[in-house]
Structure 1
Amino acid sequence: MQDLTLLLVIGGTIVTALGIYASFLLVKLYQQNQRHKVFLARAEQQQKEAIETRNNTILESVFVIAAATKQGQCDLSEAAIRLYKLMEALQADKSVDFAATYPAIYELYEVVKDMPRGEARQQTEKRARMRFDLERMKAETRLQETIAVELDAILSTKSS
C-alpha cells in the first residue's frame, strides 16, 4: 500500500510538473504570436508607406509630363508612351485602367508603341521612318484635341 501511495505521489508530481511546463510553453507561444502579429502589422504599414511614396513619385512625373505636353514642350507621342508606362506602374488605390480612363492617349500609345525610337530609329531605313512619321502625325492630329482634354483631366487630379 505504501508503494502504491509513493507511486501515486510520484505520478502526481510528474503530471503536475508536465502541466506546469505545458502552461509555460503555451504562454511563450502566445507571446511569440503576439510579437509576430506586431511585426506583420509594422511590415504591412511599411509596405503601404513605400507604395504610397512610390505612387507619389510616379504621379509627380505624370503631372510634369502632362503639363509639359500641354505647353507644347513634349511631343504627344512621347507623352503617350511615358504616361502609359508610368500609370501602369501605379499600385493599390492609385492604379488606373489607362485604356478606359484616357482612351485617346491610349489609342496614340497603341499607334506608336512599336515604332522604333532613339538609336533604333536611326538604324531604320529612311522610307520606313517616313512611313512611321506619317502614321504618327496622322494619329497625333486626329487625337490632339481629345488628348488635350485628357491631359487637363490628369492635371485636375493633381489637387485631389
Structure 2
Amino acid sequence: MVWTLAAVGAVVIVVLSVYAGRLLFLLQAQKSRHQVAKQKRIDDITESIQTIAFAMHQQQCDLSEGTIRICRLLEAMPLDPLPDFKQEYPAIHSLFDKVKNYPTHEERNALSKAERRGQDKERGQFESELESSILHETEKLKSFTV
C-alpha cells in the first residue's frame, strides 16, 4: 500500500513537473515574441522619424506638421524609461507645444477664414522663429537611433 501511494505520488510529481516545464517554455516563447514585436515597433518608429526629419529638412513637409508627427512618435516609443527627448530636441518640442492644440481636419474646416488665416499667421511666426534650430535638429534626427 505504501509503495502504491509512493508510486502515485511520484507519477503526480512527474506530471506536474512536465506541465510546469511546458508552461515555462511557453512563457519564454511569449516573452521572445513580445521582445521581437517591441523591437519591430521601435524600428518602424525610428524609420518614420528619420523619414519625417528628412522631409522637413528638404522642406517637403511643414515644420509644424513634422514636429507634431515626430513628437507623437517619440512619445509612442516603447522604451522604459523613455529618454528625455524634450531636452534632446528642444526646438522641435517648443514648436510642438505651441501648435499641438490647433484644430485640424474637420475642426479646422469649421473655423471661419479669418480664424484660419490668423492661426496660419501665428503658426508661420512660430515656425520662422524656430526654423534654423529645428532644421539643425532634423539633421540629427535623419540618423536617429535609440
Under a length normalisation based on structure 1, what TM-score does the superposition of the two structures give? 0.83
Match of 2:132 in 1: 145
The alignment partner of 1:156 has SS state of coil
Change beyond 3 A, Cα 1:89–1:78: same
Partner in structure 2 of residue 36 of structure 1 = 23
Kept after mapping to 2: 8 A contact 1:55/1:94: no
- The aligned counterpart of 2:12 is 25
Aligned residue runs from structure 1 range 80-119, under 5 A? 80-92=67-79, 95-119=82-106
The answer (yes or no) to whether the contact 1:88–1:96 under 8 Å persists in 2 is no
The equivalent of 1:8 in structure 2 is: none
**2:43: which partner in 1?**
56
Which among 107, 120, 136 is matched to residue 120 of structure 1?
A: 107
1:97 offset after TM fit, Å?
A: 3.0
Report whether the alignment pairs 1:74 with 2:61. yes
Give the TM-score of the pair, scaled to structure 2: 0.90
> 1:131 is matched with which residue: 118, 122, 125?
118
State the alpha-carbon separation in 2 of the partners of residues 110 and 78 from structure 1. 12
Show CA shifts across 1:100-143 (max 9, x none): 22111111111111111233212112232222122211111111
Tell me the alpha carbon deviations over residues 42-79 of structure 1, each in whole angstroms, 9 at most, x when there is no partner.
Answer: 10000110111122112111111110110010000000
Distance 2:5 2:39 in 1: 51
Paired residue type of 1:110? D
What count of residue pairs does the alignment treat as equivalent? 146
Greater Cα shift, 81-90 or 97-106: 97-106
Matched residues in 1 for 2:120 and 2:92: separation? 17
SS at 1:114 equivalent: coil
Q: 2:57–2:138: 8 Å Cα contact kept in structure 1?
A: yes
Instruction: Write out per-residue CA displacement over residues 21-47 of structure 1, whole angstroms, 9 at most, x where no aligned residue.
Output: 111111111111111111111100001
Whichever of the two has the greater Rg, that structure is 1
User: What's the counterpart of residue 7 of structure 1?
Assistant: none
Unaligned runs of 5+ in 2: none
